[in-house]
Amino acid sequence: MAYALTELGALGDAEQNARQAIDRVPEARRDRLRVLLAEILARQGRTPDAMQLLNELVTRDATNTLALLSLGNLYNRLGNAQRAAEYFEKVLSVDPDNDDATRYLLQAYLT
């Protein structure tokens, strides 16, 4: 539901739904929802909150490619292509076949 609400632009409702889902789903599925929550926060203009959440995920699991990709995208949106590229390279060190990271890395280099 949070995904759909995000796409509809109902970010406040999406945030609330994501937070509720995080509390209800098994631990193994929570990190994916936390990345979604961080993306919602960033779209709301709450970049520091989004960064903090994503950094917490990466601190717990340095191989969390979803969180690493999101951090890279967030830095790219902030105009820091060099820092973004670092995160995309980290994704590729964990998952060399990650097409998203490859595409985003190329975009960062071209910026």
pLDDT at 13: 85
pLDDT exceeds cutoff 60 at 59: yes
User: Tokens in use for 50?
Assistant: 């989004």
Q: Express the helix, strand and coil content of the chain in percent, nearest 5 each.
A: 80, 0, 20
The structure tokens listed for 84 are 């973004």
Sign, CA dihedral 42-89-100-26, equals negative
Measuring CA to CA, which residue among 91, 90, 85, 80 is closest to residue 106? 85
Q: What is the pTM of this model?
A: 0.87
Q: Are 105 and 92 in contact (CB under 8 A)?
A: yes
Quick one: pLDDT at residue 88? 98
Read off the pLDDT of residues 20-51 as tens digits, 9 standing for 90 and up: 999 999 988 899 999 999 999 999 999 999 99
Whether the CB-CB separation of 92 and 98 falls below 8 Å is answered with: yes
CB 105 within 8 A of CB 85: yes
64 neighbors 38 (Cβ within 8 angstroms)? no
